[in-house]
Chain A
Amino acid sequence: MQDFAEAFRLAFQLVWQMDDELAAIIGLSLRVSLTAVAIAAAIGLPLGALLATTRFRGRGGLLVLVNALMGLPPVVVGLLVYMMLSNAGPMGFLQLLYTPTAMIIAQAILITPIVTALSRQVLEDLNTEYAEQFASLSVPWPARVQALMVDARYGLLTVLLAGFGRAVAEVGAVIIVGGNIAHLTRVMTTAIALETSKGDLALALALGIVLLAIALSVNAAVMSLRLTAERTAHA
C-alpha cells in the first residue's frame, strides 16, 4: 500500500517537473495521433459524406463493412501494417518500420473507419432533415454536401475528437509497428506498458495521469462543443 502511495507521489512529481523524456513521449504521442486524425479526416469525412448523400449498388454492403471495421482489433492492424512495411513486405523498400510514420499509418487505418462511419451518420441525419428543402431548391450535389459539412460542423468535430481519443489511447498497433524505441517511437501507451513490466510504476502512472488528462480534455471539448451548438441554436 505504501508503495502504491509512493508511486502516486512520484508520478505527480514527474508530471509537475515534466522532464525532457516525459515531454518527448507526450509530444510524440500527440504528433502521431493528431497526424493520424488529420489523415483519417481527409479520407473519412469525404467518404462519410459520399455514403450519406448518395445511393448506389453495394452501398449497404459498404456500410456494413465500414461499421464492422470500427471494431478493428489494433493488434491485427499492427500485424498487417508490420507485414506490409517489413523488409519482406510489398512496401518494405520504404524503410518505414519502427518509425513514427509507421505508427501514424497504423493509427490512421484504425480510426478512418470510425471517422467514416460516425460522420456518415451525422451527415445522413442532417441530410434527411434537409432533403425535401434541398430537393425543392434543386440544390446540386456538391452544394448539398458543402452545406451539410458546414451545418454539421459541431457534430463532425465531435467525430474527430472521438477518433483522436481512440488513437491516442491505442497501444496494440503502435507497439508492433513502432517497436517502442526510446526517443524515437516511444509514446505514452507503449511507455506505460514497458515501465509497468519493468516495475517503474511512478513513470507509468505519470504517463497514465497525462493520458487520463487528455481523455478528460477531449471529453470536455466534446461537451463544450455540444453546449455551444445548443446555445447558438445550431444543433
Chain B
Amino acid sequence: MPERLAMDATAGQTAARDAGNQLPLQVSGLAWSAGSKRLIDGIDLRLENGGVTVIMGPNGAGKSLLIRLLHGLVAPEAGEIAWNGQRTGEATRAEQAMVFQKPVLLRRSVAANIDFVLKLKGGADPARRDELLAQAGLADKAHQPARALSGGEQQRLAMVRALACKPQVLFLDEPTASLDPASTQMIEAMIADARMAGVKILMVTHDAGQARRLAHDIVFIHRGRVAEHTAAATFFSKPASTPAQDYLAGKIVL
C-alpha cells in the first residue's frame, strides 16, 4: 500500500501554521537491523507540523524503534531523517523531548527532577518549576522522592519534565500504558494542552480509543514498514491496508 503523503488539512497543521513553526519531518529509506533481522525496513515518511501523529501497529512492528530513530537515540543503518531539512542529531534533539513508557526519573525529589532539566536548558527557574508542578497536579508533592509517586504521578512528572525543555517536537512512547483511566485522562489533557501550544506530538499507542481522541493522522507500521499513513478519521472509518483492517478488527496481525 503506497503511503498517503498528501494529508488533508488537519487541525494540527492549522495550529502549526498559527504557531509559526516549520519543522516538517522527512524520512527516506530508513532501515535498521538487529543482527540479521530487519526491524525497520525502508521507511519513507513525511509529517507536517503541529498536531498529533499517532504511530500504531502490532507488537514488534517497530513503532518504539521508529520514534527512537526519529529522535536520534538510535543511529539508522541506512536512510535519512531530516527535521526541516536538518539531519537528526544533537541540534535537532535540543528542540525535542521524549517521554518513555516507563518514566526514567532521577533519584531525587519531584522538584529536583524538574530543576535538573531547567538548569540544563538555561538555568534554574523556581517560578517555572512551580508552574509545571501545578500543571501536573504535583505542587503538594514537590519535595517527595520522585520514585515514591504512583505510576500515574510519575508519568505526569515525566510529561512536565519533558515540557520543561520547551520542545517543538514531543515523542511519547505509550505514555499511558498501564495507567488507570483517571491518570490516562490527565495525561491526555496534558498532550492536548501541548498540542494547543503548537508542539508537534509523535505518539505510540495501542489504545485505539486514545488514538481516536487525540490523533490527527495515523502512521500504521507493519513489519518495519509504513503500511498506511492517513488522516485519523479516514484510518478508523476506512482503513486501506489489510494489516490495519485486521488490527482494528482485533485479529492477530502476522
A94 on the B face (CB < 8 A): no
B236 on the A face (CB < 8 A): no
**Which residues of B lie under 8 Å from residue A64 when comparing CB positions?**
none
Closest-by-CB residue of B relative to A136 is: B98
What would 19 A/B residue contacts be, using CB atoms closer than 8 Å? A130-B104, A132-B73, A132-B98, A133-B104, A135-B73, A136-B73, A136-B93, A136-B97, A136-B98, A137-B117, A137-B165, A138-B90, A138-B94, A147-B106, A147-B116, A151-B107, A233-B107, A233-B146, A234-B108
- A234 touching B107, Cβ below 8 Å: yes
B28 → chain A closest CB, angstroms: 24
**Which residues of B lie under 8 Å from residue A147 when comparing CB positions?**
106, 116
Interface residues on B, range: 20 to 34
- B120 touching A151, Cβ below 8 Å: no
Question: Which A positions have Cβ atoms within 8 angstroms of B?
Answer: 129-130, 132-133, 135-139, 143, 147, 150-152, 232-235
A151 to B165, CA, bound (A): 21
- B104 touching A138, Cβ below 8 Å: no
Known interface pairs A151-B106, A234-B108; 4 further A-B residue pairs with C-beta atoms within 8 A, sorted by A's residue number: A132-B100, A136-B71, A233-B146, A235-B107
A135 to B69, CA, bound (A): 12
A116 → chain B closest CB, angstroms: 22
Top 5 A-B pairs, shortest CB-CB distance: A233-B147, A233-B148, A133-B104, A233-B145, A151-B107
**Which residues of A lie under 8 Å from residue B100 when comparing CB positions?**
132-133
Question: Which B positions have Cβ atoms within 8 angstroms of A?
Answer: 68, 71, 73, 90, 93-94, 96-98, 100, 104, 106-108, 116-117, 120, 145-148, 165
Closest-by-CB residue of A relative to B106 is: A151
Closest-by-CB residue of A relative to B158 is: A133
**Which residues of B lie under 8 Å from residue A143 when comparing CB positions?**
120
- A137 touching B71, Cβ below 8 Å: no
**Which residues of B lie under 8 Å from residue A150 when comparing CB positions?**
108
